[in-house]
Chains A and B, each alone.
Chain A
Amino acid sequence: MRTLLLAIRNLLRNRRRSLATLLAMAVGSTSILLFGGYSKNIQYSMETAYVRSGGHLQIQHRDFNNFGSGNPTAYGIADGAKILAAIRSDEVLGKLVLVATPTLQFGGIAGNYNAGVSRTILGVGIVADDHSAMRNWNGHDLPLISPPLAMQGAAADAAVIGTGVARVLQLCEALKIADCPQPQKEAPAEGNAIPDDIAALSQLEAAPPKAVVRGKAGKGKASTEAQQPARSPRRIEVLASNNRGTPNVASLDVIQAEGQGFKELDDVYVSLHLPQAQRLIYGSGPAKVTAIMVQLRHSGQIKAAQARLEAKLPEWSAKQPLAVLDLNTLNPFYVQTIALFDTIFGFIFVLIGGIVLFTVSNTMNTAVVERTVEIGTLRAIGLRQLGIRQLFVTEGVLLGLGGAVLGASTALLISAFVNRLGLEWLPPGSAEPLPLILRVWGEPGMILGTTLGLIVIATLSAWWPAYRAARLNVVDALRHV
């Protein structure tokens, strides 16, 4: 108690120096916590986005994750409905699982007949109601607005495509997509006009095959348009090979284009109703799915749910080699991003820790020099070396504690202020801007860890000067000028 009192008074004795040290620590602590809060926000935003779109866990064929992209339908799950029913009725999983939904992923080619363009796509068959429910997951209470899923309640042939697909298939105008570049039409080549008969032949070739009619070109075109039913400008055809390798075509009505965050996905994404996708791939045969997505109530339940699924799957579907993949395995980009931010956080902590170390050490060294006679006096009147060490280390701890607490308080205030500004940012892999939130409040682990870390650093910084002070020769210390 007396040591603590002495330490406090000694710190107050040189207020300016103590304050400067305290502020250096507080600024360091604030910086660490604000960056940590920013980093946490990124982690939670990304986690939420991935959980909303793909769930926490996916049941897949054992080899689908590694080889499925080459031929998704070859790795289908046959007992999808049975497994889903078993999950929903399981006594353990029933309490953990929020949504369990099948999905079918396939590769194909989408074409816009009207524009005469096509491109390879990644088709995803979904259960719209389930995916709509998945979009409401918000395990970290982010201030997010969940836009309604366009596919929900839409016609059986409805499709949602990536804005990149819409751009390539020249559907921007039909889908009323803003800021969508249009291909520039090339100017006609300069030169002599071609002969009339050649021009007439060319026009005939350019016309759609079904529009080929006998008679003069101009009259023929007019009569063809009159005969054909009006075609929706949003309609596309998706060509895919079925599970036997035979090509099959589905005509889809694109009801909306949605940005997919990554250009690579945005340029190929086509989502459609699961039954439509299953008809396209499996025809009238037994329908399969490529994955069963499982969304849990909390991300902390992943391990428990995964263990339960792995234990139960052989029982529910003995003939199929199934695997349960978790969020991290399914989304390596998420893991890499978090690892990157963790590394930066650690780097910043080490840098600031180093600054704190030298600041506190310098302060304590100066104090030892200034108080050398005092140290000699204390030793002379009977204070042991340990007492001197305790005194200076206590001062270091108090500086560390004060700086860390001041820093944490400042970080909480600044984060509260920033969070009220309503700033937005576009995180990696997101199509829409998200609120810029500094997650300091509600992260006791981060606050406590940073505070304790800085206190430990301050204590270590004070230890060497304290050790030196305790080892001073009493006579030399008393003689010090």
Chain B
Amino acid sequence: MERKGLDCVVLNQGYACVNGRVLEHEAAGNALLAELYRNHIADWPKFFKMDTLSKAGFVASELLFKEIGDNRHEGDEFVQNRAIVLFGSTASLCADRNYQETIQDKDNYYPSPALFVYTLPNIVTGEIAIRNHYRGETSFYVLEEPDAAQMAFHLSCAFQDGATDSILAGWVDSTQNDDFQSFMTLIQKEDAADAGWLAGQLQLMINNLNK
């Protein structure tokens, strides 16, 4: 019997797709993330305070959970043992630039605390963990480019801690405020046992990042 592929959400500045179904939208860039939030999520106002990297990761994760009916129940065991492992290539560069603009001019030097808090790439994992009450590992790896084999390797390693049962995994990248790519998937322990199969699944998602 053919094995079912992983559920996935793929987003970029002009594209939103859930398990192969393209979501209708009017906006592009950062406004697309706001449109997706308003149309499909709408109950987490902190979204509007996030940087583009966190917004892209947050929206992708929410669309994925909505698709697979993964509801949040703080007491559930899967919540306790779920990790978040994300990858990207430019880390928090976009947020770093936004923050730098607030400290660039010595005569207009007003460092923004709200921008500063996003000058680390792993903040996106924290935003998702807070939303879902996850208490497992959260990691953000910086890779030169999306690399399915390397990502599958790191994800397999994350299951070796003896506690992790599932991982919210994906690629999240933002080079400018209106320019982003992300995919998000949920991996169970048995999925990672076959690293070749997992890498193949991730490669399919990577192939769709530039649609």
Q: Do A and B come from one complex?
A: no
Point out residues on A near B: beta carbons under 8 Å: none
